[in-house]
A and B are shown apart, each in its own frame.
Chain A
Amino acid sequence: MVYTKEYKISTGRDSMQNISAEICKTVEDSGIRNGIVVVETVDSTAGIFKSVSGSPEALDDIVREMRRIVPARINFYQQESPENGAGHIKNCLFGSSVSMILKDGKLLCEGREDVYFAEYDGPRESSFCVCVAGE
């Protein structure tokens, strides 16, 4: 079976929000114990990624390196704003979805890694979707 749920999220500037709790809740609600979990955002200036749990420093490094790799240029062809232009590229480079393996009612990465919602052009109102597929 397949179970899907959408979440609204209020983001900050260059913010990384831990959304693991929402994912675990969705898995629990689904009643599915074995299968695949996909988390995706359709916001073109945001991203979803998986990283180490309990290390805010690691997150800071990720933000910094993302900005180094994709500087917010004033000479992008896209003319909305530098952060917006960089946001589209980060979204494309660093991904807008993750998929995880669900085994015996538990995510394989649980306890070691968390899933984060990354805002590249905030604050704004955004959303992401969690889909659990299996049995």
Chain B
Amino acid sequence: MAYMEKISLTTKFEGMHDVTKQVQEVVKKSGIQEGICVINCNHTTAGIIITSFWDKRGHVDFQEELDKLIPLRYDYHHNFDTPTDAAGHIKSAICGTGLTLIVHEGRAMLGSSQGVLFCEFDGPRARQFFVKVISD
């Protein structure tokens, strides 16, 4: 048995959007007790990660450290779009655009501080991601 849902959101520039609740909601709706949950977004300048959702300033640090590694410089070879887009591609590739979680007793297994975050590396944009729950 499997169940899938599309979740839409509107992001901010370099926004870090906590989507943990939406993901748990889909798992609950699926009715699946034991299995796996796959989360994936089909964008090249966004990412999905797990990190603490408690401290919002930590999210600023995350984006700032990424910016240090992958600066918004204008002279990337990728010149099809914008510098933010070029850097976003790299950030997205490094962070990854999806996650796999274990579903146990009707919930996606996450630690008490762990949150699923949708990371915007460009924006503001209309974005979407998919959550699929598959039973054992």
Contacts and interface: CB of A to CB of B under 8 A. Distances in A.
Q: Do A and B bind each other?
A: yes
Interface in B67-88: 67, 71-75, 83-84
What class of interface size applies to chain B in its complex with A? under 10
A68 B60 CA distance: 24
SS class, residues of chain A in contact with chain B: loop
Interface stretch (A53-61, A71-79, A116-124): A71-79
Nearest to B68: A71
A72 B83 CA distance: 11
Interface in A66-115: 67, 71-75, 82
Contacts of B73: 71-74, 82
Contacts of B84: 74
Contacts of A75: 67, 71-72
B50 to A, nearest CB: 27
Nearest to B84: A74
A62 B94 CA distance: 28
A72 B75 contact: yes
A130 to B, nearest CB: 33
A67 B74 CA distance: 11
A110 to B, nearest CB: 36
Contacts of B74: 72-74, 82
B67 to A, nearest CB: 7
Contacts of B71: 71, 73, 75
Interface of B: 67, 71-75, 83-84
21 contacts: A67-B75, A71-B71, A71-B73, A71-B75, A72-B73, A72-B74, A72-B75, A73-B71, A73-B72, A73-B73, A73-B74, A74-B72, A74-B73, A74-B74, A74-B83, A74-B84, A75-B67, A75-B71, A75-B72, A82-B73, A82-B74
